[in-house]
Amino acid sequence: MKGVTLIRRIGLILGPLLFIVLSQIEGVELEPLAWKVMAVASWMIVWWVSEAVPIPATALLPLVMFPLLGVFDISAAASNYANNIIFLFMGGFIIAIGLEKHDLHRRIALNLIRLTGTNANGIILGFMIATFALSMWISNTATAVMMLPIASSVIGILKKQTGAEGKGFKMFALTLFLGIAYSANIGGTATIIGTPPNVVFVGYVKEFFDYEVEFSRWLLIGLPIATTLLIVTYFLLTRVLYRNGLGNIKGAHEVIMKHIRDLGNFSKAEKLVSVVFGLTAFAWIFKNTINGWLDANLLNDTVTAMTGASLMFIIPLDWKKGENLLNWDDMIRLPWGILILFGGGICLAKGMETTGLIQYIGTSISEHPSINGWILILVLTAVMLYLTELMSNVALTTIFIPVVFGIAAGTNIHPLIIGIPVAFASSCAFMMPISTPPNAIVFASGFITIKDMVRAGFWLNILSILLLLLFSLTLIDWVYGDVVL
């Protein structure tokens, strides 16, 4: 703890000092304003890495510094914090809160687990599928927190049967908890709203290229990539690294059914939330078809998200008590800091673009035309993946994606074909407990050691990089190769 405090204190001082030094540089290839933007970016990076101040608070620096430095006026700087992509994610957050408040997410998870039977590996698969499916729509952290006590109940049954010292028990418990963490990380990549780095990436694409990455198109690549990663993870854990050798687990079905019975009958609130969630997802996926029927371009992903979110506050649950599906008090659970972080990232990227920093990066890379495109994708994906083991994936995506777009411009590689695997890689942190909240949550269970997680994560990281490269050159190229940016 003392080491962490020391790092924060050093970061707190180093960030502003670095800003002062860089902001004084003039006449070295870049314009003075570009150096000032780089100075602010360096300050932010130091504070993000050291977490000297809360990460969202650091994201407010461009709002303060850019007007003072003459990069933007305050209106231009502040407008980035109200980007339409931020409201897309806000709408997704609000709908997710509705699912969680009325326990619909728990019912979905338990019924998915029930379908995979009572075989040990079948139970692991059920937990992984349920975690994966939920984390596509709600917070990866919330999903992991919800799944942990259910998994602990099953572990308790097995412990009575085999004893805590049995190798089969240890391997099953280890794989089950690792499977929950990894599935939560992977599932979030499948949709735009599934994990914050996706939203950061989509926001940057809109900012840099004025192109809207549609929910349905992302799903067309996100679901196959995430599903492939899930299958690879399941087989690696259960058939290669941590074989448990167990058959059917007596009592496991009863435990799951008890959890389902405890939820009671399908309530009115759950039915109404299901309708709102279903209609929102339908509109996201079939937006273009609906616009075609209406013969007007009325729907976009942000409008759909905020419509679904608004319905949560409008639809009455109890007329007499004046209760709706959601009340404003429920918004205390909305991660406002993440939304501010998005705004700060977009503002920083706009400053980098306006002052020519991104173009400079691209020009510098273009001076090395011998660099092979697929090698560049491989290297950038690997850099993102291993860096995200050590720092916030949202902050890292905020810093790194504009650089990737600059490299794409300098090498004439399609920015989406190089950028999407890099964005995906930010969520593929499998080695360290500190890498993602789901990793930390399952590590706290006591059934996993750092050695166990590093062993599994080492191989998953390598496989993820190779799979992302393969998908970049095939599926992503097929879906986005014809998009002109």
pTM over 0.85: no
Backbone torsions φ then ψ of 301, nearest 5 degrees? -60, -35
- Tokens representing residue 186 in the block: 């992977």
Q: Is the separation of the CB atoms in 66 and 347 below 8 Å?
A: yes
Cα 334 from chain centre:
16
Residue 266's alpha-carbon distances to 77, 111, 222, 257, 312, in angstroms, are 47, 12, 31, 14, 18
* Model pLDDT, residue 97: 87
Whole-angstrom distance, CA of residue 483 vs CA of residue 485: 6
* Model pLDDT, residue 164: 57
Q: Is the separation of the CB atoms in 458 and 418 below 8 Å?
A: no
Whole-angstrom distance, CA of residue 174 vs CA of residue 429: 17
Q: Is the separation of the CB atoms in 205 and 424 below 8 Å?
A: no
Give the DSSP letter of residue 324: E
* Model pLDDT, residue 28: 66
Amino acid at 3: G
* Angle, CA 244 vertex, CA 241 and CA 245 arms, to 5°: 120
How many CA atoms, within 13 angstroms, populate the side-chain half-sphere of residue 300? 9
Q: Is the separation of the CB atoms in 429 and 387 below 8 Å?
A: no
Residues 6+ apart with CB under 8 A from 207: 83, 346, 349, 350, 353
Whole-angstrom distance, CA of residue 365 vs CA of residue 358: 11
The SS3 call for residue 325 is: coil
* Model pLDDT, residue 161: 61
- Tokens representing residue 27 in the block: 């006449």
- Tokens representing residue 469 in the block: 């490269």
Identify the CA nearest to 327 among candidates 335, 318, 340, 337: 318
Residue 408's alpha-carbon distances to 170, 269, 401, 423, in angstroms, are 46, 48, 10, 14
Helix, strand, coil share of the chain (percent; to 5): 75, 0, 25
Identify the CA nearest to 262 among candidates 110, 96, 117: 110
The per-residue pLDDT string of the chain (485 residues; one tens digit each, 9 = 90 and over) reads 555 678 888 889 999 999 999 888 876 677 788 888 889 988 988 888 788 888 889 989 999 999 999 988 999 999 989 888 788 888 888 988 888 888 888 888 888 778 777 788 888 998 899 999 989 988 888 888 888 888 887 787 777 665 556 777 788 889 999 999 999 999 999 999 888 889 889 988 988 888 888 888 999 999 999 999 999 999 999 998 888 877 777 777 777 788 788 888 888 989 999 999 889 888 888 888 888 888 877 888 888 889 999 999 999 988 877 788 999 999 998 888 888 888 888 888 788 878 877 777 766 666 665 677 888 889 899 988 988 887 777 878 888 888 888 888 878 889 999 999 999 999 888 988 777 888 888 887 777 888 888 899 999 999 999 999 999 989 998 998 888 77
* Model pLDDT, residue 460: 93
Whole-angstrom distance, CA of residue 248 vs CA of residue 118: 5
